Amino acid sequence: MVSSGPTGNRLTVLSGPSGVGKSTVVAELRRSHPEVWLSVSVTTRTPRPGETHGVEYFFVTDEEFDRMVADGELLEWAEFAGNRYGTPRAPVECKLAEGVPTLLEIDLQGARQVRETMPEALLVFLAPPSWEELESRLRGRGTEPEDVIARRLAAGRVELAAEKEFDLSLVNTAVKDVCGRLVALLK
C-alpha cells in the first residue's frame, strides 16, 4: 500500500460519468495550477482529434496493455466502451513519496480499485448539474457514433448511482469553481 507523502499529501481521485467534464476540469487545473501532478493514463483506444501520446493518454496496443497488467505495472485498470484504460503505478508512487499534490482522473471501476489498494485516497465524484445536461454534453462532443453515445449514456446512469461511494461530490456548474475546490482538497 502507498502511504501519504512526507508533507501529508494523499492521492486524490476525480471520477464521474462520461461527459460530465472531467477532462475540461483537468485541463483548467493543469493551466492554472501546474504544481498539481496529474497522472497520465494508458489506453487501448485510438486518439481523438487533437490528442497527443503522453499528454492526454499513453496510447498502447492490446498486447502492451496485457503485459502491463501481467507485470503489475498498473495501479488500476478498467474496460469502458470497448477500450481499456489504466493508471501506471510507478509515477504515482514516486510523486506521492516526493509530497507532490497528485490527482488521478479515472472512471468508476478504477476509483473502486484505488479504494481497495489505497484506502487513504480521497475519492471525489464530479456530478453533472442534471441528467439532461450530461446527455447534451455527450451528444455535443460530435466525436463518437450513436452506438458509443448510447453505451456511454447507459453507463452514465450506473455511474451516477455510485455517487454515494465517494468521499465527496462536486457539481460541475462552473469549471473554475470546481478547480478551486479541487486544489483546496489537494493541498
What residues contact 9, with CB distance under 8 A and at least 6 apart? 96, 99, 100, 101, 102, 186
Query: Can you give the pLDDT at residue 113?
Result: 94
Give yes or no for a contact between 137 and 156, defined as CB atoms under 8 angstroms apart. Answer: no
Query: Can you give the pLDDT at residue 171?
Result: 93
pLDDT, one tens digit per residue, over 92-107 is 999 999 999 999 998 8
Q: Picking from 34-48, 63-77, 132-146, 149-163, which range would have the lowest pLDDT averaged per residue?
A: 132-146
Q: Name the domain count of the chain.
A: 1
Local structure of 45: helix, strand or coil:
coil
Query: Can you give the pLDDT at residue 169?
Result: 95
Length of the chain: 187
77 domain residue, yes or no: yes
Q: Is pLDDT of 7 > 60?
A: no
175 domain residue, yes or no: yes
Q: Is pLDDT of 67 > 80?
A: yes
Q: In the chain, what percentage of residues exceed pLDDT 70?
A: 94
Closest CA to 10 of 86, 118, 111: 118
7 domain residue, yes or no: no
Q: Which domain holds residue 53?
A: 12-186
Q: Is pLDDT of 3 > 70?
A: no
Query: Can you give the pLDDT at residue 1?
Result: 40
Q: What is the CATH number of the domain that holds 58?
A: 3.40.50.300
Instruction: Count CA atoms within 13 Å of residue 11 on its CB side.
Output: 28
Residue linked to cell 451516477: 160
